[in-house]
Amino acid sequence: MHNDNNCVRIGRRAFLKQGTLTLAATSLASSQLLANDQAAKLRVGLVTDLHYADKAPAGSRHYRETLAKLEEAAKQFEQDTPTFLVELGDFIDAADSVDVEQGYLQTINRPFSAICKDRHYVLGNHCVDTLKKEEFLGGVEQEKSYYSFDRGGFHFIVLDSCFRSDGQPYERKNFHWTDANIPAAELEWLESDLKSNDKPTVVFAHQRLDVQNHHGVKNNAEVRKILEASGKVLAVFQGHSHQNDLKDIGGIQYCTLVAMVEGSGAQNNGYSLMEIEPNGTIHLTGFRKQKNYEW
């Protein structure tokens, strides 16, 4: 399953990484060293763009196959025992009615929620295509669409870019997916949250904060300015464009993860385990189509 050969060097501080699963120890002593090394790291399971729906494939998206792909990821996470789990948006795909979309959400969240009790949901545009935000959040038992939390000496921020340019939240098909924005109130909250925090920070987003094309948050330059000014942000993990990518902007790594929904069959799956060492070094171990990174 592990993507041993899919290693890349992108960005000033990124360099080639051999997958952690290929570093199997050949002696009891080295096995113990590896176990101790892993124990010192904070582990986070990451998936994005599952787009689960009970409908026929469309183009390269195989909606129903997400269930089997998630089952594989769950088995891997069971071995790796992440501290918490994050899905980076587009958990479900669009439906024509609220009832049908809620059915999609219940079906995919049942196995997802069984993986880890500590889990976090980033809102994607497809999550609130028909549903209102409070309906999606109620379905996954999450109180807010943007918030922060601490784990293992690190600070984590979940952002919500599912707002139109006029500040209205996405819901009931009232938006176009290219009009993604972080409104003034959330920007003020983000700046205040970073100022009040003294820990190294990782940010989770759906729409991209590092590009100016249709997949980017329209005011992402303003968001990046806040992140850079804090001097605390190590990395941003995001989805939305369904591709592997890594950019270093202003000393922050913007890591875009591959979509789980793309392609048919287990070989076209994609998910990852992010590990943070006490010194702030981040390792991303990718599985199937997901690349490996370290910085």
Q: Which pLDDT value is given to residue 11?
A: 34
For the cut 90, the answer to whether the pLDDT of residue 165 exceeds it is yes
Assess if residue 22 is contained within a domain: no
**Interatomic CA distance for residues 54 and 92, integer angstroms:** 10
Query: By the 8 A CB rule, do 195 and 159 touch?
Result: no
Classify 219 as helix, strand or coil.
Answer: coil
Q: What pLDDT is stored for residue 41 in this prediction?
A: 86
Q: Residue 6 — pLDDT band, cuts 50, 70, 90?
A: very low
Examine residue 70 and state whether it is found in any structural domain, yes or no: yes
Question: How many structural domains are present in the chain?
Answer: 1
Mean pLDDT of 170-176: 97
pLDDT score for 1: 58
Per-residue pLDDT reduced to its tens digit, 102-155:
999 999 999 999 999 999 999 999 999 999 999 999 999 999 999 999 999 999
Give residue 86's Cα distance to chain centre: 6
The whole domain housing 253 covers 43-294
Report yes or no on 250 lying in a domain: yes
What is the pLDDT confidence band of residue 203, given thresholds at 50, 70 and 90?
very high
- Gap between the Cα atoms of 277 and 40, Å rounded: 7
What is the C-alpha to C-alpha distance for residues 176 and 164, in angstroms, rounded to an integer?
8
Burial of residue 227, with CB atoms counted within 10 A of its CB: 0-12 exposed, 13-18 middle, 19 or more buried? buried
| 14 within a domain of the structure (yes/no) | no
Q: For 13-41, how does the pLDDT look when each residue is reduced to its tens digit (9 = 90+)?
A: 333 333 333 223 333 333 443 444 445 68
147 part of a folded domain = yes
User: Is residue 91 situated within a structural domain?
Assistant: yes
Quick check: 4 pLDDT over 50?
Answer: no
Contact 208, 238 (CB under 8 A): yes
Q: Is the residue at 187 inside a domain?
A: yes
As a whole-number percent, the residues of the chain with pLDDT over 90 amount to: 86
The verdict on residue 16 lying in a domain is no
CATH number at residue 200: 3.60.21.10
Lowest pLDDT segment from 12-26, 88-102, 120-134, 210-224: 12-26
Instruction: Note the pLDDT of residue 204.
Output: 98
SS3 assignment for the chain: CECCCCECCCCCCCCCCCCHHHCCCCCHHHHHHHHHHHHCCEEEEEECCCCECCCCCECCECCCCHHHHHHHHHHHHHHHCCCEEEECCCCECCCCCHHHHHHHHHHHHHHHHCCCCCEEECCCCCCCCCCCHHHHHHHHCCCCCCEEEEECCEEEEECCCEECCCCCECCCCCCCCCCCECCHHHHHHHHHHHHCCCCCEEEECCCECCCCCCCECCCHHHHHHHHHHHCCEEEEEECCCCCCEEEEECCEEEEECCCCCECCCHHHCEEEEEEECCCCCEEEEEEECCCEEEC
Q: Above 50 in pLDDT, residue 258? A: yes
